[in-house]
Homo-oligomer: A and B are copies of this chain.
Amino acid sequence: MPTAELRLIPARRGAAARASAGQRIKVINTHGTQVVDTWAFSAADAAEWMSMEASRAWFMKLRAAVGDTFRTNQRRPILTLVEDTSGAAHDTLMAACDLPRYGLLGVTGHHDNCRDNLHAALAVLGVKVPATPSPLNLFMNIPWTPDGALAWAEPISPPGSYAVLRAEMDLIIAFSACPQDILPINGRTGQTTEAHFTIQ
């Protein structure tokens, strides 16, 4: 197989691409500390999207492991986690960051955010969706306690580690290199970096 084109998810920005059923989407944590919010939409109907709440009800886990399949809001398979060298601490629980979220964290005025990055990346492909689905937060480390308390922890993914998602239908994949620089979710507070992906 020829080497796939290495595509950029710019620091604090989004990117989107089309993929066909059976293709492998490799998401590389180039610098090891970067959360990549990830969404997938059916190519046939962008109102059918990868659903964290339907996926958890399918694989019956808070976090997917290699072999687990994410489902859409129509309960159809859309992505399967087929390979992972990152430690597979990927979050399914937290909303994409957005401008009101940064407001709650004390930011006044503009702040880059994953919600806007999603919609801007989709717009490049001419795609519009009527809501912001809850994302698969690749490399985002949200531990839980027996009592159900959650925390914002640093990523455990080494630099250059990756997750590979197999497309189970023709789809649009969208990413945002999370610009969260107030909580330590991207490693050392204040640090936000680029990431990369390939489709082949």
Contacts and interface: CB of A to CB of B under 8 A. Distances in A.
Contact of A60 (B53, B75, B100, B151): B151
A150 interface: yes
A95 interface: yes
Interface string A58-88: 1011110000000001111000000000000
A102 to B, nearest CB: 9
Identical subunits present: 2
A161 B9 CA distance: 50
A58, A94, A144, A148, most chain B CB atoms within 10 A: A148
Contacts of A52: 53, 134
B95 A150 contact: no
B146 A51 contact: no
A151 to B, nearest CB: 7
Contact of A134 (B47, B53, B58, B100): B53
Contacts of A130: 47, 130-131
Contacts of A63: 148
Interface residues of A, number: 35
A31 interface: no
A35 to B, nearest CB: 13
A29 to B, nearest CB: 21
Contact of A57 (B53, B101, B147): B101
Q: Which A-B residue pairs are the 7 nearest by beta carbons?
A: A62-B148, A130-B130, A53-B95, A75-B100, A53-B134, A131-B131, A54-B95
